[in-house]
Amino acid sequence: MNSHAILNLLPYQDPFLFVDGLTSITSEGVEGYYTFESDSYFYEGHFKDNPVTPGVILTECMAQIGLVCLGIFLLKESLSGSNSPQIALTSSQMDFFLPVLPGEKVRVVSEKEVFRFQKLKCLVKMYNEKNELVCRGKLSGMMSAGGK
């Protein structure tokens, strides 16, 4: 399964899609990127006169790339044309180090810790364009091939 097919199976759309592309994906991990557009809806009130990307949005971006894209890849044998993936985030533990400003492009790197009994657990890191660590954490979710 290639990255284009994975992106087409994501259960998100604008304005809540936080994946622009994937640069690599294997059964052990994934790397992808996203640019936070300056006119994104969440900058209007976070923070007044000094917009910063909310931590919950950074976590969502990391989950979409680092957990959901990897989960879809791992489920590739179970997914057919009539199936769509079913995904539920079950836990997140994040540490934040640097802000992400409007217009910034980030890179997300995820390493699989375990995928067992349809539960995926990953170590996920986000970097800015200067290759500085923005945030990192552990994300877990339940995955299944689901149905239509």
Is the dihedral angle over the CA atoms 130, 54, 120, 118 positive or is it negative?
A: negative
- Give the 3-state secondary structure of 70-133: HHHHHCCCCCCCCCCCEEEEEEEEEEECCCCCCCCEEEEEEEEEEEECCEEEEEEEEECCCCCE
8 A C-beta contact, residue 123 and residue 94: no
Q: Which of 1, 3, 46, 136 is catalytic?
A: 46
| Residue 4 is among the residues annotated as catalytic for this protein | no
What is the dihedral angle through the alpha carbons of 42, 59, 29, 145, rounded to the nearest 10 degrees?
A: -80
Active site residues: 46
